[in-house]
Amino acid sequence: MIAQKTRYALRSLLFLAEEQSGAPVQLGRIAETQRVPPKYLELIMLDLKKAGLVKSARGPKGGYRLARSAELISFGEVVRTMEGPIALVSCASVNFYAPCGDCQDEATCAIRRAFAILRDQSTAVLDSISLAEGAGWEERLNGGN
């Protein structure tokens, strides 16, 4: 399961994707509408900013906005930013590989192979869903098109 922090990050980014103007949105508004504790959201937004997913602006009209078009940010990128590797076992991770330690032959290990297949399919699905697509799903569910 993904951590609550990742769910909050996704919800906040989807909210920013739904804001059609592209103008910065104040942290308090994001926190209130998405029901995220403001102090916790500050930390999440810092992580997202470091990863290049959001930009911030200071001042009375300041806040956060997406750093790129919502079509160019995938659920997979957000999950990897917040969680690290998508693989469920370290020996099946592409970017964070580590041997299991108890495996007799990694090349023929059925566990590693099964979880590598799962990783590839999960990654492909998450990378194929953009924030724009997700925001569209939410708009339809909330009475939009």
139 in any annotated domain? no
Is residue 143 pLDDT above 80, yes or no? Answer: no
11-38 mean pLDDT: 92
Residues 32 and 88 in one domain: no
113 in any annotated domain? yes
Q: Using a pLDDT cut of 90, give the percent of the chain over it.
A: 63
Residues 3 and 58 in one domain: yes
Which residues make beta-bridge pairs with 56? 64
Average pLDDT, the chain: 90
30 in any annotated domain? yes
**Contacts with 48 (C-beta within 8 Å, 6 or more apart), sequence order:** 9, 12, 13, 54, 78, 81
Residues 64 and 117 in one domain: no
Residues 46 and 26 in one domain: yes
Cβ distance 39 to 24 under 8 Å? Answer: no
pLDDT at residue 99, as a whole number: 80
Q: How many structural domains compose the chain? A: 2
Print the domain residue range for 86: 74-129
Least confident of 10-14, 29-33, 110-114: 110-114
81-104 tens-digit pLDDT: 999 888 888 888 877 788 887 878
CATH number at residue 42: 1.10.10.10
Residues 63 and 6 in one domain: yes
Q: Which of 18, 47, 69 lies at the terminal end of a domain, its last residue?
A: 69
**Contacts with 101 (C-beta within 8 Å, 6 or more apart), sequence order:** none
Residues 65 and 108 in one domain: no
Residues 57 and 3 in one domain: yes
Residues 83 and 65 in one domain: no
56-77 tens-digit pLDDT: 999 888 899 999 999 999 999 9
Query: How far is 71 from 68, CA to CA, in rounded Å?
Result: 8
Residues 19 and 81 in one domain: no
